[in-house]
Amino acid sequence: MNQEVIKLTKMTKFRMFLNPIKEEKWINNILDEGYKLVSFSTFGFYKFIETDENYVVRVDYRSLKKRDFCDYVTLHEECGWDHISGRPHGVNNQYWEKIKDGNDELFSDNESKLAYYQRIVNLITSVCIIYLATYLSNIFQYQNAFQLFLTPGLWDMPKDLMWKAILFELPFALMRLSFHLIFISLIAIVIVIQFKINKLKQNNI
């Protein structure tokens, strides 16, 4: 009797996130293509495997003590969630997965959602403070776009040479500018999440 061997497609992706909400959305977009999350490493590697089931992942950013970890895991496992990844202590993301069944939210009440969003705001605010402490002296260093290019005499070169020099240095100029763009993006994320927090608070009134 011939037995058909079905090989499931495995896939590894690399991505780094500062925003757990955006990370969760990215993972679920992949799951919607017919995959399930198998594992995640803190170095940014996500491992997926092909499946016929429809899975959903929730990312819970929180601080845990080792003695509370077992109760935390048991609580969600009783609701049908599988713990995929997450350290048993300290501040980190906890990754949960289950087959979609119509009850796919990790937090069923507004108070838990408020606490979740507030934890993310605190995370990003801490990152912003560290960023400012590190790069504050450079924030206003480049008063205009021309100062992003450091090649001596760039703007006095003949036009044909100037454009070649600009194209060569452009990637490095964008890297210097990226520090400021990252900071602005983090502030924008905090504003969006704070808006969600305020909306949830209004619903509780």
- Residue 15 predicted with pLDDT over 90: yes
pLDDT in tens, 63-91: 888 889 999 999 999 989 999 999 998 88
Task: Kindly tell me the sign of the dihedral angle through the C-alpha atoms of 167, 169, 174, 175.
Answer: positive
- Residue 156 predicted with pLDDT over 70: no
- Residue 31 predicted with pLDDT over 90: yes
Q: Which of 164, 161, 166 is nearest to 146 (CA)?
A: 166
157 is written with which tokens? 């070169």
Q: Which of 13, 14, 17, 15 is nearest to 189 (CA)?
A: 17
Q: Is the pTM of this model over 0.85?
A: no
Any idea which residue has 């602005």 for tokens? 184
